[in-house]
């Protein structure tokens, strides 16, 4: 009877452990893509903020230049009016000399001086008029550029505000999800389950003692109950992506068949958890990713018995979907 039971256990382990290498590679690729996408979003958000600050600086600089040009134009206009008044005065004196006729001959020197003054005033008038025309043209160009820049800055401000609003909503949603999970899974708090929030994501940590026997990929009954309760919460939050990560300690595993080392053990444990969630809930498989991290991301590096115990775990990482954020970034 014992031999029969042992044989059935081996068959069960082998049947679950047959995970194609292609599926494992796909899961690793998805994990890598998620990390790249997250870094890209952070970079784009920083770039958007930096660009907005640059636009604000350019806008202030242009405003200052436009105000300076307007002041220069006003000053030139005043000077032009004064020159025109001088010209009119000199021209009136000249016309009066012409009327004097022969009587003005004695004033020939005065006449020559008036003519010279009249010519000089005419030249100054023409120069000032040219300067004013050039200044007005430049002022118009600067104002058009200022209007364009102001419109662009307003659009950037609107996008940045929208992005900040979405990020705040996602963060609020993640906090609410964490609180829901803490309440729903409180019965497992002393059995090796904890919930925490980091970098806008919710982490459900399940220790090995809650889920697996040492070296096994078959989830224990108490672990199945915990995963069913977790799945109920995930069903009600469809806008959350779910990453299941398997982690082991650093003790080398000398396995046979499909499970040869800690990499295989971590992947197959993550896959076992995924199958329990999908088999006991309406959570879409498209939301789930199973990944194995082996021994390479330990929680405790002390290499003690207690430290290795902490490192043998499953992490369920819940991330809000970023579709809305991507739409905002695509408009830039």
Give the span between the Cα atoms of 283 and 142, in whole angstroms: 58
**One domain for residues 286 and 319:** yes
Burial class (CB in 10 A: 0-12, 13-18, 19+), 227: buried
CATH number of the domain within which 102 lies: 1.10.287
Give the span between the Cα atoms of 277 and 187, in whole angstroms: 18
**One domain for residues 165 and 220:** no
Q: What is the pLDDT of residues 24-79, one digit of tens each?
A: 565 566 666 666 666 666 666 677 677 777 777 777 777 777 777 777 777 767 87
> Mean pLDDT, to the nearest integer, of 155-181?
86
Could you give the number of structural domains in the chain?
A: 2
**One domain for residues 189 and 315:** yes
**One domain for residues 69 and 104:** yes
Backbone φ and ψ of 284, nearest 5°: -65, 135
CB atoms inside a 10 Å sphere around CB 292? 25
Domain boundary at 145, 170, 195, which?
Answer: 170
Both tokens of 300, joined, read 């405790």
Helices 262-279 and 2-17 cross at an angle (nearest 10°) of 90
Q: Tell which residue, 159, 145, 141, 172, has the closest CA to residue 59.
A: 145
Q: What is the pLDDT of residues 274-315, one digit of tens each?
A: 999 999 999 999 999 999 999 999 999 999 999 999 999 999
Domain boundary at 121, 139, 170, which?
Answer: 170
Q: What is the pLDDT of residues 181-204, one digit of tens each?
A: 999 999 999 999 999 999 889 999
Q: Supply the range of the domain harboring residue 126.
A: 52-170
Give the span between the Cα atoms of 171 and 80, in whole angstroms: 63
Q: Which residues contact 55 (CB under 8 A, 6 or more apart)?
A: 149, 152, 153, 156
Give the span between the Cα atoms of 32 and 98, in whole angstroms: 95
Q: What is the pLDDT of residues 206-264, one digit of tens each?
A: 999 999 998 999 999 999 999 999 999 999 999 899 999 999 999 998 767 788 899 99
DSSP bridge pairs for 204: 195, 316
Can you point out the beta strands (E) in the chain?
193-198, 201-207, 240-247, 288-292, 313-320
Give the span between the Cα atoms of 142 and 58, in whole angstroms: 12
Alpha-carbon separation of residue 35 from 29, 40, 94, 197, 244 (angstroms):
10, 9, 86, 17, 15
**One domain for residues 198 and 303:** yes
CB 230, CB 278: distance < 8 Å? no
Q: Tell which residue, 296, 287, 295, has the closest CA to residue 316.
A: 287
Q: Which residues contact 205 (CB under 8 A, 6 or more apart)?
A: 193, 194, 195, 196, 313, 314, 315
CATH number of the domain within which 289 lies: 3.30.1330.60
DSSP code, position 306: H
**One domain for residues 153 and 213:** no
Give the span between the Cα atoms of 331 and 155, in whole angstroms: 10
């Amino acid at each position: 009877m014992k031999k029969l039971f042992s044989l059935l256990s081996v068959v069960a382990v082998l049947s679950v452990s047959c995970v194609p290498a292609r599926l494992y590679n796909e899961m690793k690729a998805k994990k890598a893509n998620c990390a790249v996408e997250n870094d890209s979003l952070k970079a784009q958000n920083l770039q958007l903020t930096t660009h907005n600050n640059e636009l604000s600086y350019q806008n202030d600089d242009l405003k200052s230049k436009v105000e300076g040009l307007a002041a220069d134009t006003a000053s030139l206009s005043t000077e032009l009016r004064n020159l025109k008044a001088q010209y009119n005065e000199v021209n009136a004196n000249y016309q009066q000399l012409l009327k004097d006729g022969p009587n003005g001959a004695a004033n020939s020197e005065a006449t020559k001086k008036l003519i010279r003054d009249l010519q000089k005033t005419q030249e100054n008038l023409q120069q000032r008029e040219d300067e004013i025309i050039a200044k007005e043209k430049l002022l118009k160009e600067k104002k058009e550029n200022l209007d364009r820049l102001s419109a662009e800055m307003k659009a950037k401000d609107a996008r940045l505000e929208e992005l900040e609003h979405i990020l705040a909503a996602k963060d609020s949603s993640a906090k609410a999800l964490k609180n829901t999970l803490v309440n729903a899974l409180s019965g497992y708090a002393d059995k090796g389950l904890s919930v925490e929030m980091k970098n806008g994501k919710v982490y459900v940590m399940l220790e090995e003692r809650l889920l697996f026997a040492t070296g096994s990929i078959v989830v224990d009954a108490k672990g199945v109950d915990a995963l069913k309760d977790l799945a109920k919460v995930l069903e009600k939050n469809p806008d959350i992506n779910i990453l299941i990560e398997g982690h082991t300690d650093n003790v080398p595993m000398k396995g046979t068949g499909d499970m040869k080392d800690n990499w295989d053990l971590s992947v197959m444990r993550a896959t076992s958890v995924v199958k329990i969630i999908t088999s006991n809930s309406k959570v879409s498989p498209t939301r789930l990713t199973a990944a194995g991290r082996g021994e390479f991301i330990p929680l405790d590096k002390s290499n003690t018995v207690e430290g290795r115990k902490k490192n043998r775990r499953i992490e369920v990482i819940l991330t809000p979907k970023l579709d809305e954020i991507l739409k905002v970034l695509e408009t830039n």
